[in-house]
Chain A
Amino acid sequence: MIHPITDNRSRFTAWWLIWLTIGAVQSLLLHFLCDCTFSTAVTDGLSSALLLSLIAIAVWYPVTLLVPRNSGIIKAVSNHILIAAIALTLWILGVKLAVDLINGPSMVYDEFWNRWLLLRLGAGLFIYVVIVLSYHLMVSFDNITKKNIREASLEKTLRETELMALRSQINPHFLFNSLNSISSLTIDDPALAREMIIKLSDFMRYALSRKEQRFVPLLKELENMRLYLEIEKVRFGNRLVCREECEHGTHALLIPNMILQPLYENAVKHGVYESTEKVEVLVFCYLKEAVLTIKIENNFDPGMISRRGTGTGLENVRERLRLAYSGMASLQTSSEQGRFTVTLIIPALSSQDN
């Protein structure tokens, strides 16, 4: 942290003006009230002000650097007392030495010095404490500002992550290709076009509203995935075959919403987009010992070198599972003999648990 006085030109000037004033006032007081000679009064007043101001500038460093934060009140206070004792001793000795050196040793001054020493120390201590407290105030104010900035940037990052997650959920090409199919359907099947628009709207509404409810019943998620597959079926006709087998009792269980979307999309992408053959997308859900298993299978052409598969879709799902279940859920994939399987294993939650 930069020094609040020396690193700011106008403050630095004001600082010296203040200390010059203090020095001058002290000199006048000494001369007129305490009967010191003019030269003694000026030497005493100015040297005392000069020394104290230098000490005050220097003490910034131990206050911000040496006094360790969070190290307990006792340690902090004892550190402060030690620093204050050193600083004030230096100050007192310095002033005495300066006056003796400049004006020569004098019995009168020595007597005056001894009589007012305690008051002098008290005044010095008071000024010292005021300065240290202001330093502490500055440091904490600075810390709060920094903390606010950090929090703001953290929140921004979080929101961006969420947005990115949302973006990666729905492939924009799916949307544009579906709209193109609708455009084609309007040629001679406006009724089907209308039906498609409604399906696409329902699907998009569900996908975009996911912020409000983090967990939804499996049935709702499955219904939405049926919409997705029906839309894709219009595009790919009978090349896409879907089957869903879910055990009784699994429908009411809760899962994070839109968690299945990337898995279905994956199945369609690697199956239908890459193949000219019929592609089956099979979904199984079953419940065993408070664990819900959802399996999504598709066949693909194993002879092809896939152009896709950066794996970001699956990675996203894994990350969401990790956040939602803190390590209690898993996602496995296997690929053999032209059949790709994604297995999602999550704790069975019902709406009462939540």
Chain B
Amino acid sequence: MTESETSIKALIIEDEEPARKLVRHFLESHPIIEIAGECADGFCGAKLIRELSPDLLFLDIQMPRLTGFELLEVIDDRPEIIFTTAYDEFAIQAFEINAVDYLLKPFSRERFDAAVVKAVKKIAARGHSGEGKRINPDSRMEGSMPLNRIVIRKGTAISFIAVRDIEYIEAEDDYVMIWYPGGKALKQQTMKYYEENLPAEDFVRIHRSCIVAIDLIERIEPYGKETYRVLLRGGKRLPVSRSGYKALKDKISF
């Protein structure tokens, strides 16, 4: 180890004590990694990440309050991630967000060591080329749990919007604005993601920049020449594109 190598700050975010213990134990042979903290649920994890800005996370996926993936949606500077989970169905999603590795429980020491070596290399390289860009997954795995809540953050407060409460979603540059009865929330995510993952029987994409809850549509009215717009309960009007009109027609067959 050379003088220039500073230690790497890592967090273990995992709801089972025996599993955390195993990670701690395996990390004993990697003195370059300093365990800055541990958490048993996603909320606590998000808070610790904000406070300690670690370089590396050992992250479980299924956890109380906030899943591993939801946690990544509410933090600003994303550390490098090594997933540790018993679920094999999230591997593609993990790959899409550039995770260092995906350890399937139970894992061997050799497998763990290889993941740590990769992470150390990646963090060293990142130090030269600036911050890693955050990418949210565009697609979700077939067979993973259906999207039924969306995690949002206002300042440091984390909360959820139930998918059934969403009124409509509008595109705003690289973000989307989600409107719901209590207000609106900005998310860094693509329209395509929501078009593909919201329940198809409840939502329809009426425009390149708009997805709306079918139940909320009061009526569809002509708007200029051969174009339409929808009137939502509550009085909001949204534009409908030609392909959006076709999608609407297919879903509610008027």
The count of chain B contact residues (Cβ–Cβ below 8 Å) is: 27
Number of A-B residue pairs having CB atoms within 8 Å of each other in the complex:
72
A residues less than 8 Å from B153 (CB atoms): none
* CB–CB A173/B86 < 8 A: yes
Q: Is B19's CB within 8 Å of the partner chain A?
A: yes
Among B44, B64, B87, residue most surrounded by chain A Cβ atoms (within 10 Å): B64
Taking a contact as CB atoms under 8 Å apart, the answer to whether B105 and A234 are in contact is: no
Q: Which residue on chain A has the smallest CB distance to residue B16?
A: A235
In the complex, what distance in Å separates the CA atom of A177 from the CA atom of B17? Answer: 12
Contact of A180 with B18 in the complex, beta carbons under 8 Å: yes
A274 in the interface (beta carbon within 8 A): yes
B17 in contact with A237 (CB, 8 Å): yes
* Contact A184-B19, Cβ < 8 Å, known A276-B40, A307-B145, A308-B145: yes
Q: Mark B92-129, 1 if CB is under 8 A from A, else 0.
A: 00000000000011110000000000000000000000
Q: Kindly list chain B residues whose C-beta atoms are within 8 Å of the C-beta of A236.
A: 15-16
By the criterion CB–CB under 8 Å, are A184 and B21 in contact?
A: yes
Residues of A within 8 A of B18 (CB): 180-181, 184-185, 234-235
With an 8 A cutoff between CB atoms, is B67 at the interface? yes
User: Closest approach, in angstroms, between the C-beta of B157 and any C-beta of chain A?
Assistant: 14
The reply to whether B104 and A176 contact each other, CB–CB distance below 8 Å, is yes
Tell yes or no: B149 within 8 A of A by CB.
Answer: yes
A285-339 interface with B by 8 A CB criterion: 301, 304-308, 310
Option from A179, A237, A301, A307 in Cβ contact (under 8 Å) with B105: A179
Residues of chain B within 8 A of A172, CB atoms compared? 86
Interface residue A187 (Cβ < 8 Å from any Cβ of B): yes
Query: Which residues of chain A are near B17, meaning CB under 8 Å?
Result: 237
Say yes or no: is A39 at the interface (Cβ < 8 Å to chain B). Answer: no
Q: Cβ of A183 < 8 Å from any Cβ of B?
A: yes
Say yes or no: is A26 at the interface (Cβ < 8 Å to chain B).
no
Binding site for A on B (CB under 8 A): 15-19, 21-22, 25, 40-41, 44, 62, 64-65, 67, 86-87, 104-107, 145-146, 148-149, 160, 162
Residues of A within 8 A of B (CB): 172-173, 176-177, 179-185, 187, 234-237, 273-276, 301, 304-308, 310
